[in-house]
């Protein structure tokens, strides 16, 4: 019998218990989050906070949010908020996560979790000390497609995994958002785009070491294009790259001794519209998994956080603390080799 993909076992997000969310930072990704909460879960966004009362009020109006605040302090103090989604720029994740945790609120922090491993350790230590959940919003790792990949690899269908290839390139520089160009905002391709290939390789291989990186930097000293090779704990090699100076189809491949997985479609390997194909060495497609729902991919991370909170856990299954630590450590080493540093590091 021909080998097949392992089926995902991700629960229906609509079956997760409801959580009352506060959104810290009303930017574009927060709008995506709020839309997914409303359309794909039983949870709700009940409050939003910004340094600008006007921006917070505008966000609240667009998304039907009850309360808006002109400060982050007021948001995290809201007694009706059960969990805080930190959607500020990378440079502020550390301070804003600590602010919410100090107010007794569990946090879901956008990727990259922080600027570096040292900041991540401080956030996780604070969560541990307070007995609160802290989770990284690497939304792709919560998707059913990633569960298909993980289970298929673990079931041995591919044989020994020899290679993971993944790329993420979007044309966002030099005319894109300021946050990507600015060292003050922890800009560059790696933390914004490269985190997807790095996290995918970590997901498949269970960690990365022997990291080797090269790349090109902007005139302000952030990375524009970065390539990474690394090795997993069982010998598999990762070949990863990212760029904010060009655009590609953003595919990914997991190559084993018996078969390979190809992730593509829907705009990227990491998106909720991506399909997973099981391919024989001769190129024959043996099996495929195609998502039945491609909208509101953030709903899966929202639901998993809700389940973790209901069960009294401080970590999510899809992105445990050790995974966040490993990814941050890898990106620290990449930046060290590239010579990219941020103010205050």
Angle between helices 117-130 and 321-338 (to 10 degrees): 160
Q: Is 105 part of the annotated catalytic residue set? A: no
**Pair 127, 145 in one domain:** no
Residue 160 sits in the same domain as residue 118: no
Are 182 and 251 found together in one domain?
A: yes
Q: Tell me the CATH number at 77.
A: 3.40.50.720
Residue 167 included in any domain: yes
Domain co-membership, 210 together with 287: yes
Q: In what order do the strands lie in the sheet with 260-264?
A: 209-217, 223-231, 237-243, 161-169, 252-256, 260-264, 275-279, 285-289
Q: How many domains does one find in the chain?
A: 2
Rama region for 180: left / alpha / beta (φ>0; ψ in -120 to 50; rest): alpha
One of 111, 141, 179, 326 is an active-site residue; which one? 111
- 97 and 173 in a single domain? The answer is no
Question: 4 lies in a domain?
Answer: no
Q: Is residue 310 in some structural domain?
A: no
**325 & 203 share domain:** yes
Domain hosting 325: range is 141-294+320-338
pTM of the model: 0.97
The residue from 139, 166, 189 where one domain ends is 139
pLDDT, tens digit only, all 345 positions of the chain: 789 999 999 999 999 999 999 999 999 999 999 999 999 999 999 999 999 999 999 999 999 999 999 999 999 999 999 999 999 999 999 999 999 999 999 999 999 999 999 999 999 999 999 999 999 999 999 999 999 999 999 999 999 999 999 999 999 999 999 999 999 999 999 999 999 999 999 999 999 999 999 999 999 999 999 999 999 999 999 999 999 999 999 999 999 999 999 999 889 999 999 999 999 999 999 999 999 988 999 999 999 999 999 999 999 999 999 999 999 999 999 999 999 999 999
- Do 196 and 329 have their domain in common? yes
Q: Domain containing 253 — which CATH number?
A: 3.30.360.10
């Amino acid at each position: 019998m021909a080998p097949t993909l392992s089926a995902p076992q991700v629960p229906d997000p609509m079956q997760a218990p409801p959580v009352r969310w506060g959104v810290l930072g009303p930017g574009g990704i927060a709008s995506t989050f709020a839309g997914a909460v409303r359309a794909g879960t039983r949870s709700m966004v009940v409050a939003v906070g910004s340094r600008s009362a006007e921006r917070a009020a505008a966000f609240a109006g667009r998304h039907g949010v009850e309360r808006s605040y002109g400060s982050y302090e007021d948001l995290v103090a809201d007694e009706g908020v059960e969990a805080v989604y930190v959607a500020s720029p990378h440079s502020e994740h550390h301070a804003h996560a600590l602010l919410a945790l100090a107010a007794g609120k569990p946090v879901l922090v956008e990727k990259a979790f922080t600027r570096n491993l040292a900041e991540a350790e401080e956030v996780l230590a604070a969560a541990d000390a307070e007995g609160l959940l802290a989770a990284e919003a690497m939304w792709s790792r919560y998707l059913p497609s990633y569960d298909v990949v993980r289970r298929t690899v673990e079931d041995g269908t591919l044989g020994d995994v020899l290679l993971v290839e993944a790329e993420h390139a979007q044309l966002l520089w030099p005319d894109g958002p300021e946050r990507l160009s600015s060292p003050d905002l922890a800009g560059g391709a790696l933390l914004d785009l490269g985190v997807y290939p790095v996290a995918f390789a970590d997901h498949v291989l269970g960690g990365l070491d022997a990291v080797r990186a090269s790349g090109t930097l902007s005139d302000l000293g952030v990375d524009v294009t970065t390539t990474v090779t690394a090795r997993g704990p069982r010998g598999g090699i990762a070949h990863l790259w990212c760029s904010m100076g060009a655009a590609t189809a953003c595919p990914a491949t997991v190559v084993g001794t018996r078969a390979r997985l190809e992730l593509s479609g829907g705009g990227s390997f990491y998106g909720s519209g991506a399909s997973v194909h099981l391919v024989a060495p001769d190129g024959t497609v043996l099996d495929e998994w195609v998502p039945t729902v491609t909208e509101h991919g953030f709903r899966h991370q929202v639901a998993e956080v809700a389940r973790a909170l209901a069960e009294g856990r401080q970590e999510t299954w899809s992105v445990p603390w050790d995974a966040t630590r490993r990814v941050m450590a890898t990106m620290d080493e990449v930046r060290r080799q590239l010579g990219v540093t941020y103010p205050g590091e």
